[in-house]
C-alpha cells in the first residue's frame, strides 16, 4: 500500500476511535452546563430510596430484554445462513451485545466478541453479522420511535414526522417483498424476508421496552414520570446513544433524556440512569467478560436445536431432475424450470420451491408419508426465516396438515380425465363435438410428436402468442424453453406445413399433466380441443391412466382470474378434484398467497438459446432424471 494511502487509512481508523470519545466528552460537558447535577453522595442517598422489589423487577426486565436480543441474533444468523444453531446463536448474541454496548465502538467490539465466541465464523462473517444486527436494529428502532411520535408526539410536526417514518418503513417493506435481491456494482444484496422483518421488529420492541421498564423501575421514589412518557423518551435517547458509539452511550443518553423530559428532576433522573447503568450495562458486561475469557462456558449443556427431536432422518436437497419417473403427480416436473428442487425429509420426498418469502411444497409429496412432512417443512422454513406452506395439494395432504393444526384454504380444482374411459359420445360432449368438426373442416392436422420437435416454429408460435396475450405466467406454469419442452409430451397442430399451435404435457409413469398451451392468433376454431383429444388418444395408447388438464381457480375471486379456462376444460366433462393451500398460521397463509401471486404473475424469464433453422430436433426421453434443463434462475 502506498505511503499516502496508508496515512489516510491510519487517520480514518483514528477518527473512528476518537470521534465517539469526543462526542461522549462533549455531551457530558453540555450535561453539566444544562442541569444542576447532585453531588455523588446525594446520588447514593437517592439510590437508597429505590425499593428492593424495584431492583428485582429491573433485573427481571433486563433478563427479558437480553432474552429478546438473543432471539434477534438467531434471526440474523438464519438470514446470513451461518449454520450456527439457534441456542448457540442466542447465547453468543446476548454476550456480544452486553460486551459491545458497555465498551462502545459497536462494530469493532461486537465483531470481536462474536468471532471470539463462534470459532466457526471467520472475521468477515462476524463483521457482516454485527453490521446486519446494527443496521436492522437501528431501522427497527426508528420505526418504533416513529410510532411513539405518532401516538404521543407533543406537537403536530412531531406527529407528522412519526407518520412519515412509518410511511417510509411501509414502502421499504413493500420493496423487500417485490425486489428481495439487489445488485449494486456486482455486489448481491439479499434483503430480509418479511417473516424476518416482523420477527426483528418484535424482538427489538421487546428489548427496548423491557430496558425502558428497567430504567423506570430504578428511578428513586418521588418522581412523577409516567411509564407512557418514559418509554418514548428512552427510545429516542437510545437511538442517539447508539449512533454516537460512545462507551455505554455515556453522555448522549443522559443528555437526551434530560432534554426529552424537561419537567423531570435532574437529580432523580441522573440517579435512575446511574442505577440503570449498573443493572443493564455493568452486570451483563461483567458476565459477558467472563464468557469471553472462557468461551467454553457458553457451549456447555446446550439444549438440542429447536425441532431437532423431529429430525430423526435429516434432510437433503436434491436437484430437480432427480425426481423419479414413477411419481403420483406429473405436474411436479415444473420445478425443472422454476428454480425448485427435490427435498428429502428422511424418506419423504417433495417438490420444494424456496423463495425469499416462503418454503413451499408444490402439489402432493413425491413419496413418503404425508403426516411426517408438515413438522419437517415448518422446521425447514424456520431455518430460512420464511413461511411454510403446501400449495395446490390434494385433500389427503390438506387433511394431514390440518390434523397438525395447520390452516387450510381451497384455492383451485384440478380437471382429471381417464383416457381409457374417455369418449366424445353423449349429450355432455355436444359442444366438444362441434368444436372438433370446425377444426376438421378447416383442414387442421393434429398429431403427437414422439421423436423430434420443430423448435424453430414452436418458438415463433410462442412469440406470437406472447405478443397477443402478454408475458407468460410462470412458477407453477411453464414457459417456453427448448430444453424444457424437449422432455415433455407434445401435441402439434398444423395447417398444411405451418404450425399454428401446440400443447405440452408433463409426464410421469401413470399421469400426464397439461402445461404449455400456445396458438397463433387466428388459429382455426377448435384447435385447442383437437390438441387435447390427440393427447387423450396418445395417453390411452401409452397406457397412461390419468390425464390432468391442470387446475383452475376456485375461490371467491376466481371469476376474475379464470379467463375462460373452466369453460374450455368443462367441454371434456372432467372429474373436478379440489386443491388446497395449507400453512401453519393465518399470517403465514396470507404471506404465502401473496408470494405465490407475485411469482406467478411476475416470473423471471428463463434464459433461452433460440434454436437455429438447421437445429435438429431434440429426442424425447421418458425419465426426467436423465435430463437437465437450461433454465438458470432461482425463485
Instruction: Please give the grid coordinates belonging to residue 295.
Output: 468461551
Q: Which cell numbers hold the place of 401? A: 396438515
As a whole number, mean pLDDT of residues 28-43 equals 56
pLDDT band at 425 (very low <50, low <70, confident <90, very high): confident
Mean pLDDT of the chain: 80
CA-CA distance, 475 to 3, in Å (whole number)? Answer: 55
Ramachandran area for residue 61 (φ above 0: left; ψ -120 to 50: alpha; else beta): alpha
Say how far apart CA 597 and CA 581 lie, in whole Å.
13
503: cell is 400443447
From 114, 122, 123, 108, select the one nearest 95 (Cα to Cα). Answer: 114
Average pLDDT over residues 479-500: 87
Q: Answer positive or negative: Cα dihedral of 211, 217, 219, 222.
A: positive
Range among 197-211, 313-327, 464-478, 560-574 with highest mean pLDDT value: 197-211
What pLDDT was estimated at residue 625?
A: 38
Q: Give pLDDT, residue 513.
A: 93
Place of cell 420492541: 205
* DSSP codes of every residue in 91-119: HHHHHHHHHHHHH--HHHHHHHHHHHH-T
Residue 382, CA atoms < 13 Å, CB-side half-sphere: 16
Question: What is the 8-class DSSP label of residue 365?
Answer: E
In this prediction, residue 313 has a pLDDT band, given cuts at 50, 70 and 90, of: low
Q: Mean pLDDT throughout 37-64?
A: 80
pLDDT tens digits, 317-373:
888 888 888 888 888 889 888 888 888 888 888 999 998 899 999 998 998 888 888
Name the nearest CA neighbour of 541 among 533, 531, 549, 551.
533
Cα distances (angstroms) measured from residue 113 to each of 99, 203, 283, 297: 7, 21, 17, 14
Q: Are 439 and 424 in contact (CB under 8 A)?
A: no
The SS3 of residue 635 is: coil
Among 75-79, 465-469, 543-547, whose mean pLDDT is lowest? 465-469
What digits encode the pLDDT tens for the residues 52-78? 899 999 999 999 999 999 999 999 999
Answer whether residue 316 shows pLDDT above 70.
yes
**Which grid cell is 62?**
433486563
- Candidates 385, 312, 635, 630; CA nearest to 486 is 630
φ and ψ at 288, to 5 degrees?
A: -65, -40
- Answer whether residue 387 shows pLDDT above 90: yes
Residues 6+ apart with CB under 8 A from 307: 375, 378, 379, 382
CA dihedral (555, 559, 561, 564) in degrees, to 10, reads 130
Contact 257, 237 (CB under 8 A): yes
Inter-residue contact 504 to 488 (CB < 8 Å): yes
Confidence class for position 30, pLDDT limits 50, 70, 90: low
Is there a contact between 624 and 325 (Cβ–Cβ < 8 Å)?
Answer: yes
* Residue 85 burial (C-beta neighbours within 10 Å; 0-12, 13-18, 19+): middle
Q: Any residues with CB less than 8 A from the CB of 65 and at least 6 apart, and which?
A: 206, 207, 208, 210, 211, 214, 280
H-type alpha helices, 513-585: 527-542, 558-562, 565-570
Per residue in 267-300, pLDDT (tens digit) is 788 888 888 888 998 899 889 888 888 888 776 5
pLDDT the model gives residue 62:
93
> How far apart are the C-alpha atoms of 273 and 275, rounded to whole Å?
5
Q: What is the mean pLDDT of residues 414-418?
A: 91
Tell me which of 558 and 152 has the higher pLDDT. 152
Per-residue pLDDT at 614: 37
The number of CA neighbours under 13 Å toward the Cβ of 621 is: 13
Query: Residue 316: beta bridge partners?
Result: 344
Tens of pLDDT, residue by residue over 469-478, are 877 778 788 8
Q: Which residues pair with 407 in a beta bridge?
A: 583
- Predicted confidence band at 402 (pLDDT cuts at 50, 70, 90)? very high
Q: What is the mean pLDDT of residues 218-228?
A: 81
Are 99 and 289 in contact by the 8 Å Cβ rule? The answer is yes
Please compute Rg for the chain using Cα positions.
32
- Is the per-residue pLDDT at 437 higher than 90? no
State which of 24-38, 57-71, 97-111, 604-618 shows the largest mean pLDDT.
57-71
Polymer length of the chain: 635
> Quick one: cell of 58?
429491573
Model pLDDT, residue 586: 93
* Beta carbons of 492 and 520 less than 8 angstroms apart: no
Most confidently modeled range among 59-68, 163-172, 307-316 = 59-68
pLDDT for 307: 46
CA distance 632 to 627: 15
Amino acid at each position: 500500500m502506498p505511503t499516502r494511502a496508508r496515512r489516510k487509512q491510519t487517520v480514518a481508523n483514528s477518527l473512528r476511535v476518537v470521534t465517539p470519545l469526543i462526542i461522549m466528552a462533549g455531551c457530558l460537558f453540555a450535561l453539566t452546563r444544562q442541569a444542576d447535577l447532585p453531588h455523588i453522595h446525594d446520588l447514593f442517598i437517592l439510590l437508597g430510596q429505590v425499593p428492593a422489589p424495584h431492583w428485582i423487577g429491573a433485573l427481571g426486565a433486563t433478563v427479558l430484554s437480553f432474552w429478546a436480543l438473543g432471539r434477534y441474533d438467531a434471526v440474523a444468523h438464519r438470514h446470513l445462513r451461518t449454520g450456527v444453531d439457534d441456542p448457540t446463536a442466542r447465547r453468543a448474541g446476548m454476550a456480544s451485545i452486553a460486551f459491545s454496548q458497555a465498551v462502545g465502538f459497536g462494530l469493532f467490539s461486537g465483531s470481536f466478541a462474536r468471532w471470539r465466541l463462534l470459532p466457526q465464523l471467520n472475521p468477515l462473517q462476524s463483521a457482516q453479522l454485527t453490521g446486519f444486527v446494527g443496521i436492522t436494529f437501528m431501522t427497527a428502532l426508528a420505526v418504533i420511535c416513529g410510532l411513539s411520535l405518532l401516538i404521543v408526539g407533543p406537537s403536530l410536526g412531531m406527529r407528522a414526522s412519526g407518520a412519515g417514518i412509518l410511511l417510509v418503513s411501509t414502502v421499504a417493506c413493500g420493496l423487500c417483498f417485490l425486489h428481495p435481491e439487489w445488485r449494486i456494482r456486482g455486489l448481491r444484496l439479499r434483503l430480509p424476508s418479511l417473516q424476518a422483518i416482523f420477527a426483528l421488529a418484535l424482538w427489538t420492541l421487546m428489548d427496548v421496552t423491557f430496558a425502558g421498564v428497567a430504567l423506570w423501575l430504578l428511578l428513586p421514589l418521588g418522581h412523577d414520570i409516567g411509564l407512557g412518557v418514559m418509554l418514548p423518551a428512552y427510545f429516542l435517547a437510545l437511538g442517539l446513544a447508539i449512533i454516537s458509539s460512545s462507551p455505554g452511550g455515556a453522555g448522549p443518553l443522559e443528555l437526551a433524556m434530560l432534554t426529552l423530559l424537561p419537567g423531570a428532576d435532574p437529580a432523580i433522573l441522573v440517579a435512575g440512569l446511574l442505577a440503570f447503568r449498573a443493572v443493564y450495562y455493568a452486570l451483563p458486561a461483567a458476565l459477558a467478560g467472563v464468557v469471553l475469557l472462557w468461551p467454553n462456558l457458553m457451549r456447555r449443556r446446550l439444549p438440542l436445536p429447536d425441532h431437532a427431536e423431529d429430525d430423526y432422518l435429516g434432510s437433503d436437497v436434491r436437484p430437480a431432475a432427480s425426481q423419479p419417473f414413477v411419481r403420483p403427480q406429473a405436474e411436479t416436473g415444473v420445478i425443472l424450470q422454476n428454480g425448485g428442487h427435490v427435498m428429502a425429509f428422511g424418506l419423504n420426498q417433495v417438490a420444494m420451491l424456496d423463495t425469499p418469502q416462503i418454503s413451499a411444497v408444490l402439489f402432493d409429496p413425491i413419496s413418503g408419508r404425508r403426516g411426517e412432512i408438515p413438522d419437517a417443512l415448518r422446521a425447514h422454513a424456520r431455518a430460512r426465516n420464511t413461511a411454510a406452506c403446501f400449495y395446490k395439494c390434494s385433500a389427503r395432504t390438506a387433511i394431514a396438515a390440518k390434523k397438525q393444526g395447520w390452516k387450510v384454504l381451497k384455492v383451485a380444482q384440478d380437471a382429471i380425465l381417464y383416457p381409457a374411459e374417455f369418449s366424445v359420445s353423449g349429450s355432455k360432449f355436444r359442444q366438444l363435438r362441434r368444436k372438433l368438426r370446425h377444426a376438421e373442416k378447416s383442414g387442421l392436422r393434429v398429431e403427437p410428436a414422439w421423436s423430434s420437435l420443430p423448435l424453430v416454429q414452436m418458438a415463433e408460435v410462442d412469440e406470437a402468442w406472447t405478443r397477443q396475450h402478454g408475458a407468460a405466467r410462470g412458477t407453477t406454469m411453464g414457459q417456453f424453453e427448448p430444453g424444457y419442452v424437449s422432455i415433455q409430451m407434445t401435441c402439434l397442430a398444423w395447417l398444411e406445413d405451418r404450425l399454428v399451435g401446440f400443447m405440452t404435457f408433463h409426464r410421469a409413469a401413470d399421469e400426464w399433466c397439461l402445461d404449455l398451451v400456445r396458438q397463433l392468433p387466428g388459429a382455426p376454431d377448435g384447435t385447442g380441443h383437437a390438441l387435447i383429444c390427440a393427447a387423450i388418444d396418445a395417453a390411452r395408447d401409452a397406457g397412461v391412466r390419468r390425464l390432468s388438464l391442470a387446475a383452475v381457480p376456485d375461490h371467491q375471486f376466481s371469476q376474475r382470474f379464470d379467463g375462460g379456462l373452466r369453460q374450455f376444460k368443462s367441454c371434456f366433462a372432467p372429474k373436478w378434484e379440489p386443491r388446497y393451500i395449507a400453512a401453519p398460521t393465518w399470517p403465514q397463509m396470507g404471506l404465502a398467497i401473496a408470494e405465490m401471486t407475485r411469482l406467478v404473475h411476475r416470473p423471471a424469464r428463463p434464459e433461452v438459446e433460440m434454436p437455429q433453422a438447421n437445429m435438429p430436433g431434440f429426442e424425447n426421453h421418458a425419465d426426467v432424471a436423465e435430463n437437465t434443463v437450461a433454465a438458470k434462475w432461482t425463485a
